[in-house]
Amino acid sequence: MPEEKIDKNVFLQTLDWICQKLEEADIPYMITGGSAVGFWGHIRTTMDIDILIQIQPQQIHRFLKSIEKEAYVDVEEARRAILSKEMFNAILHKTGFKIDIIPLNEKNAYEVEKFKNRIKIKFQNKEIFVIRPEDLVISKLIWSKSAGGSERQLKDCESIIRLNREEINLKYILKWVKSLKLDSEFKKL
């Protein structure tokens, strides 16, 4: 079987693919995690694409059917994960790159707020939805706390704040830092 020529890097090709699949299925999404740091902070290597989706039960079957031939995905596990609001992953065959797909937990006030705040940006001649820099900082503080402290998460936060200091809404960040009890993590920045 001849190898298909990959004309973009694997990250960009995988990002294009998953965004297109979600848009075709009419599933709202936003890029988050390490993949989103490059939009707001320093560019760094990441081994996957983190994407938060707002999927309804009636969309699950069609979405999973649309990706299962082009990506490795355990359809039954993915269905269970979506219904349980847990992360699952898919690996695009063409690139071997992993996508962590995170269903929005609509019972979590902060998760709903950050999803509502997502913004559309132009990237590589396409419009995609990404997490706002303030919410990326807050999310990384949450991840750092849950990991028992993470130097990488904190460095990402510092980079995002430093590179966006003119526009970033610190009052918004501080409101959620207090509400989510992230004070000790925030003080490390």
The SS3 assignment for 31 reads strand
- Whether 6 shows a pLDDT value over 70: the answer reads no
User: Average pLDDT for residues 171-176, to the nearest whole number?
Assistant: 97
User: Given CA atoms 127, 139, 89, 25 in this order, what sign does their dihedral have?
Assistant: negative
- Phi, psi (5° rounding) for residue 154? -70, -40
- Whether 3 shows a pLDDT value over 80: the answer reads no
Contacts of 144 (CB under 8 A, 6+ apart): 150, 153, 154, 157, 185
pLDDT digits (tens, 9 = 90+) for 58-88: 999 999 999 999 999 999 999 999 999 999 9
Paired sense of beta strands 48-53 and 29-32, if any: antiparallel
Sheet holding 48-53, edge to edge: 71-72, 88-92, 98-103, 48-53, 29-32, 126-130, 119-123
Measured CA to CA, the distance from residue 72 to residue 90 in angstroms comes to 5
pLDDT digits (tens, 9 = 90+) for 105-137: 999 999 999 999 999 999 888 999 999 999 999
How far CA 50 is from CA of 54, 98, 169, 181, in Å, comes to 14, 9, 23, 24
User: Average pLDDT for residues 17-39, to the nearest whole number?
Assistant: 95
pLDDT at 43: 78
